[in-house]
Amino acid sequence: MRTWLALLVAPVLALADQSIAFSMATWMCNRQHMLPMHALHASFAAAILVATATAWSHWRRSAAAADPSTERRHFIAGVATASGALSALAVVAMWIPTWLLSPCFA
């Protein structure tokens, strides 16, 4: 279960972050207050990083195994770690314009 969170839930969280951030753009433009947007990105990034860290720890623990079933688990844990890291990178990349641009830029 530790690896499936990073493998499947982390990309879904990244997409949810993007959808919610786009839906908040008009509200943010009207209020000119950026703290809720930063809190949104930070919370999604933290959730993705927790899922990725658990997959990474499972990947590190299963590295020394020799039987085929554990090798498969090790491979899935590695893919889950990569998927979670890519999702975290996507959330951080979507967070950068929040720091640089006004919400009314478009």
pLDDT for the residue 64: 78
Domain range for 66: 2-100
Query: Which residue type does 89 have?
Result: L
Share of the chain above pLDDT 90, in %: 56
Handedness of CA 40, 15, 90, 80 (dihedral sign): positive
* Among 79, 63, 61, residue whose Cα is nearest residue 5: 79
User: What does the pLDDT average to over 46-69?
Assistant: 88
Does 72 reside within a domain?
Answer: yes
pLDDT for the residue 106: 58
Count: domains in the chain: 1
Does 106 reside within a domain?
Answer: no
Please state, in angstroms and rounded to a whole number, the distance separating the CA atoms of residues 105 and 37. Answer: 15
Chain center to CA of 47: 7
